[in-house]
Amino acid sequence: MLRISVIGSGYLGVTHAACMAELGYRVTGLDIDADKVARLNAGDVPFYEPGLAGLVEEHTASGRLRFTTSYEVAAQADVHFLCVGTPQRRGQDAADLSHLDAAVRRLAPLLGHDCLLVGKSTVPVGTAARILEAVSGLAPPSTTVDVAWNPEFLREGHAVADTLAPDRIVLGVVSERSEKVLKELYAPFVDRGTPLVVADLATAELTKSAANAFLATKVSFINAMAEVCEAVGADVTRLSEGLSHDPRIGDQFIRPGLGFGGGCLPKDLRAFQARARELGVGGALSFLGEVDAINTRRRSATVRLVREQCDGELARRRVAVLGGAFKPGSDDIRDSPALYVAEELSRSGARVVVHDPKANQNIRRHHPSLTCADTVLDACAQADVVVLATEWAEFADIDPAVLGAVVSHRRVVDARNALDAEQWKQAAWTYRALGRP
Ligand code: UGA
């Protein structure tokens, strides 16, 4: 049976490693962070992802999954998945590929038998071909190392389900041998009818960039409609519903509100444009600059609504921000629209208290200037305005009458269009939302 290594133990790497173990493979997960490796080997996942801790615990206990800091150990595998982060370069649009390049430089010279390197990280098109060339110079001359690209489409918060039941598998390959190995590896999915798209390396890399750009465009499209609705007093939530029944449009990714954030969509959108400019086709993707700008404007529109709710003056006003994660179901706060708003309100002099059901620990660590509360009621005590910034299900269940008893003023800004407006108005709240009258 194929032995697998997964290089990089972040959201993507740990999920992929645990799910490959679940399929029955022997998997070695690698990370350069020894603390993280020790925690993972004890079955402890250092971030919140539904269902993942159970899988890691089960398979580290069974011995099918182990984590290591040793490239020598990882190099024993037959298939190596590259799952390291490709964040945005500081102060630039382009992706930072230093972790990926470092991983290849460390691994390739240790590859003592024929094997396959498979990239899963989101990368600028052309990276796989560059890695293929680099590997042929770094690996021992006696071994054949193939390179393939197999982009990942999992969503945080649904990572395990998306990996164990993918909606498609995209393979970028340069040899029949690597196509055969990957088809064999993914046979449990392919055999039950998961669509498989086999392409060249560049097409596989581009498919991922295009998918995230398309999703971001859908969100910004509906948020552009929200801006127009605001100008005429129309209701973007009804507009979205009206669009959604057209099967060509569908009902997903047209939820209007504070817009997209996280470790993927915003940076991938920028890296894709940067790469297109390098390739001399920047004009083809220039609309993505507008997609990004629409998204950012929703953040300032939210701050503006809160200011209006405070009669134009934010200084010393108490604002409760419900939600800090970039989306519900996750404790990830990277490029979180909710925290952007919280920080901006705080800079304007407001006394901001944030509460998130899962992300409080991350918020306290990375946003020390913000105050965090452990419960919704604590966050909202004496609040002049309550802002719903991440649509956790439990926030939609809040009883506005109960919350009304602890705030100073019953004013709410529903930045995710997630609350029942009528219910809140009936409980004597002044209700404001993005894109609605
Ligand atoms: C995204 C893609 O959906 C995945 O397919 C991809 O694999 C992943 O990036 C990645 O590149 O690794 P993710 O970042 O986990 O996944 O989050 P999404 O569920 O896509 O949500 C992104 C943002 O869009 C969130 O901030 C969410 O609140 C926002 N959003 C989403 C909206 O504002 N409106 C919508 O209708 C949908």
Q: Which residue has the tokens 């079955």?
A: 43
Tell which atom from ligand 1 comes closest to the C-alpha of 154. 7
How many angstroms separate the CA atoms of 307 and 330, rounded?
Answer: 28
For ligand 1, say whether the CB of 332 is within 6 Å of any of its atoms.
no
Structure confidence by residue, pLDDT tens digits, 325-337: 999 999 999 999 9
pLDDT at 103 over 90: yes
* Atom number, ligand 1, closest to the C-alpha of residue 152: 7
Give 211-246 pLDDT, tens digit per residue.
999 999 999 999 999 999 999 999 999 999 999 999
For the stretch 2-50, pLDDT in tens is 999 999 999 999 999 999 999 999 999 999 999 999 999 999 999 999 9
Residue nearest to atom 16 of ligand 1 (CA): 155
Q: Which residue has tokens 């995209």?
A: 170
327 Cβ inside 6 Å of ligand 1: yes
**221 CB near ligand 1 (under 6 Å):** no
Q: State the average pLDDT over residues 272-277.
A: 98
326 lines ligand 1 (CB under 6 A): yes
Q: Is 256 in the pocket of ligand 1 (CB under 6 A)?
A: no
Beta-bridged to residue 386, according to DSSP, are: 320, 412
What residues pair up with 354 in beta bridges, in sequence order?
321, 372
Q: Nearest 5°: phi and psi at 4?
A: -120, 140
Give the mean model confidence (pLDDT) for residues 277-297.
Answer: 98
1 pLDDT band, cuts 50/70/90, is confident
Ligand 1 nearest-atom number relative to CA 255 = 36
**Concatenated DSSP letters for 225-264?**
HHHHHHHHT--HHHHHHHHHTSTTT-STT---SS---SSS
**Which residue's C-alpha comes closest to atom 13 of ligand 1?**
155
Q: How far is the CA of 164 from the centre of ligand 1 (A)?
A: 18
Q: Measured from the CB, is residue 265 less than 6 Å from ligand 1?
A: yes
What are the structure tokens assigned to 169, written together? 């598998």
Residue 347's pLDDT band, with cuts at 50, 70 and 90, is very high
Q: Per the structure block, which two tokens stand in for 2?
A: 């194929």
Count H helices, E strands: the chain? Answer: 19, 14
Residue to substitute in 260, 268, 302, 332 for testing ligand 1 pocket (most ligand atoms within 8 angstroms of CB): 260
Quick check: CB of 298 below 6 Å from ligand 1?
no
The pLDDT assigned to 13 comes to 98
pLDDT per residue as tens digits for the range 180-211? 999 999 999 999 999 999 999 999 999 999 99
Among protein residues, the one with the nearest Cα to ligand 1's atom 33 is 259
Distance separating alpha carbons of residues 378 and 375, to the nearest angstrom: 5
Stated pTM of the model: 0.97
Cα–Cα distances in angstroms (integers) from residue 79 to residues 25, 184, 351, in the given order: 11, 12, 52
Mean pLDDT of the chain: 97
DSSP category for residue 147: E
In the annotation, is 372 catalytic?
no
Report in angstroms the alpha-carbon separations of 171 from 25, 42, 180, 194.
20, 33, 11, 13
Compute the average pLDDT of residues 382-386.
98
Q: Give strand pairing partners of 317.
A: none
Cα–Cα distance list, 189 to 13, 15, 27, 165, 270 (Å): 19, 16, 18, 7, 32
Is-contact 20 6, C-beta < 8 A? yes
